[in-house]
Amino acid sequence: MPELDAEDEKLVTLARSARARTQAAEGAALRDTDGRTYAASTVDQPSFKLTALQAAVAAAVSSGAEGIEAAVVVSAEGLLKEASVHAVRDIAEEAPIYLADPSGKVLN
């Protein structure tokens, strides 16, 4: 398990809060290269579906973010969804993507 710095720990807290607030399968948070943070939960509508990280990336991009420093997904599944990874990699090839369980314990 990696040791997170304080800024990445904040992302874990934001992701946990987003997941809990909506009782979604996942919560996610990211920090852009300007230091702004974005949090989102899974979107599961009849007409479209987004992973929590896809939703957070969409919020960041629509707010003008040009890069991502780090991202966190909180999920009970124990695996990062490929679509989530691709959403971040479209913008930032090297940004770490952490996976945490619902208690906030970072798994990777």
Digit-coded pLDDT (tens) for 20-73: 999 999 999 999 999 999 999 999 999 999 999 999 999 999 999 999 999 999
Average pLDDT over residues 97-102: 98
* C-alpha closest to that of 40 among 87, 93, 95, 91: 87
The pTM for the full model equals 0.95
Q: How far apart are CA 84 and CA 53, in angstroms?
A: 5
Integer Cα distance of 82 and 60 in angstroms: 19
Provide the mean pLDDT of the chain: 96
Give residue 1's pLDDT band: very low, low, confident or very high (50, 70, 90): low
Burial environment of residue 51 by CB neighbours within 10 A (0 to 12, 13 to 18, 19 or more):
buried
